[in-house]
Amino acid sequence: MTEARVKLVLASASPRRLALLEQAGIKPDLLMPADIDETPMKRETPRRLAIRLANEKARTAQEAPLVKKLGTKTFIIAADTVVGLGRRILPKPETPEEAESCLWLLSGRSHWVYSAVTLLAPGGQSWRRCSETKVRFKRFSREDVDTYLKSGEWRGKAGGYAVQGRAESFVRTLSGSHSGVVGLPLYETIHLLHGAGYPVHYTWLTAPLSGV
């Protein structure tokens, strides 16, 4: 497999996942969002949900005509992030009421963020990893919640918050992968790509430095 012919697809429309991948010196050739049903199955745990959805996103993107057009030497990366309180799965709120409910549940408590990655490699091989990060928030005041809701930053975010934004000021402790909480655990992602034969270090030599 020659480096010049290898292609990479990111099965996501998330600007934060793209930014994280580019931060790690990797620029995908194609963004292919995968529209799937994210409804949890009965008795499904937060971790298992994250892993299943990442896998379904990758498989859905694999069947897209634009992806097939890239040829057989194509890698596909997909990810999903789920916030859990014990076995309880918190939603990705679309209304202020849903987001407010999430925030009060998380107030002053520790929760887990599961960020799963699936890699589909040329030849039909697939690999999965899931980062598990423990996050503890401060105890919220009514003003904290009301002003955060007005920001709109919570919309569509797992657990009703975006740690890369204003919500980082709520974090008392974070043990695990910060990038995983944002949406794409970089250690796991780069480890998978490198192990599967994607030319990670070649792209580091040819890609412009991020944030410099």
For the segment 66-123, what is each residue's pLDDT rounded down to a tens digit? 999 999 999 999 999 999 999 999 999 999 999 999 999 999 999 999 999 999 999 8
pLDDT digits (tens, 9 = 90+) for 122-139: 988 999 999 999 999 999
- Is 80 considered catalytic here? yes
- What pLDDT does residue 5 have? 79
- What pLDDT does residue 1 have? 41
Q: What is the mean pLDDT of residues 180-204?
A: 91
The single residue of 29, 37, 80, 144 carrying the catalytic annotation is 80
Distance, CA of 124 to CA of 113 (rounded, Å): 29
Distance, CA of 126 to CA of 135 (rounded, Å): 29
% of the chain beyond a pLDDT of 90: 88
Q: What is the mean pLDDT of residues 135-153?
A: 97
Angle, alpha carbons 153-156-162 (nearest 5°): 40
Tell me the CATH class for 3-90+112-134+176-206.
alpha beta
